[in-house]
Amino acid sequence: MNYAIKKLSFILNLSIIFLLLSCVSSSDSETTEISSDSESTSISDEQIDHLGITNPEYLSAASKRALKWPTDLGNEWFIQFDQLQPLKGDLAYEEGVVRRDPSAIIRENGKYYVWYTRSTGPTQGFGGDIENDKVFPWDRCDIWYATSEDGWTWKEEGLAVARGEKGAYDDRSVFTVEIMKWEDKYYLCYQAVKSPYNVRVKNTVGLAWSDSPNGPWTKSEEPILRPADNGIWKGEEQNRFMVEKKGDFDSHKVHDPCILPYKGKFYLYYKGEQMGEAITFGGRQIRHGVAIADKPEGPYVKSKYNPISNSGHEICVWPYNGGIASLITTDGPEKNTIQWAPDGINFEIMSVIPGVNAHAIGLNRTADTEKEPTEILRWGLTHVYNSADYQSIMRFSSRRKTTHVAKGEKK
SS3 4: helix
178 located within any domain:
yes
| Average pLDDT over every residue of 239-247 | 95
Q: Are residues 50 and 108 in the same domain?
A: no
- Residue 377 confidence (pLDDT) above 70: yes
Look at residue 64 and give its three-state secondary structure.
helix
* Whole-number average pLDDT of the chain: 90
Greater model confidence, 117 or 50: 117
- Residue 49 is part of a domain; what is its CATH number? 1.10.8.360
The answer to whether 105 touches 111, Cβ cutoff 8 Å, is no
- Taking alpha carbons only, the member of 71, 76, 147 closest to residue 106 is 147
Both 104 and 63 in one domain: the answer is: no
Bond preceding residue 86 cis, omega within 30 of 0: no
* Same domain (yes/no): 86, 23: no
Judge if 191 and 58 occupy the same domain.
no
Report the phi/psi class of residue 105: left, alpha or beta, with left for phi > 0 and alpha for psi in -120 to 50.
beta
Mean pLDDT of 286-293: 98
Query: Do both 48 and 95 map to the same domain?
Result: no
The tens digit of pLDDT for each residue in 210-237 reads 999 999 999 999 999 999 999 999 999 9
Q: What amino acid occupies position 390? A: Y
Q: List the domain range (segments joined by +) for residue 48.
A: 2-28+43-67
Tell me: do 242 and 266 sit in the same domain: yes
The residue ranges of DSSP E strands in 149-242, in sequence order, are 153-161, 173-182, 185-193, 204-210, 218-219, 232-233
User: What CATH number should be reported for the domain holding residue 173?
Assistant: 2.115.10.20
Amino acid making up residue 261: P
For residue 342, what pLDDT is reported? 98
Q: For residues 225 and 204, is the Cβ–Cβ distance under 8 A? A: yes
Confidence band of 405 (pLDDT split at 50, 70, 90): confident
Assess whether 122 and 57 both reside in one domain: no
Q: Domain tally for the chain? A: 2
